[in-house]
Amino acid sequence: MGVEIERKFLLAGDAWRGLGQAVLLRQGYLSSARERVVRVRIEGEQAMLTIKGANVGATRGEWEYPIPLADAAELLDGLCEQPLIEKVRHRIEHAGMVWEVDEFLGANAGLVVAEIELASEDQPFEKPEWIGVEVSGDARYYNANLIRHPFSQW
């Protein structure tokens, strides 16, 4: 079984801008139920199907499989729950770790969050100066919830 251990934070300022590489992501959900999420994502020229289990703390099961780009586009436009999640992801290295800063577009424009994946829940890591309040346990910030309750409606 694959495992994802992830912590999510709001940002404190714009010092992260201009760091790292950026790529456009489009993703949608075939299932956004809390106990099982099935996501289709196009990231640049690659496409993935991801299945995630329910969170237990910052940990949950995760299985990810590459799929043909054309299939992903068809799923996003035809079968996925709407609206889609669109965001620009910035991958920024800091103190030997990779932070993913997501700038949301569309109905979630204005929302910017940073995530870090860990090897264990108690793994120490250094926060960059631009990391703010942790929102890992706040379900409003889960991508699967942002399709039903977009940031623009908060």
**Residues belonging to the active site:** 29
* Spatial separation of the C-alpha atoms in residues 87 and 104, rounded to whole Å: 4
In a 13 Å sphere around the CA of 38, the CA atoms on its Cβ side amount to 8
For residue 5, the tally of other CB atoms under 10 A from its CB is 17
**Whole-number Cα distances in Å, 76 to 22, 69, 83, 85, 97:** 21, 11, 10, 10, 31
Task: Give the 3-state secondary structure of 83-139.
Answer: CCEEEEEEEEEECCEEEEEEEECHHHCCCEEEEEECCCCCCCCCCCCCEEEECCCCH
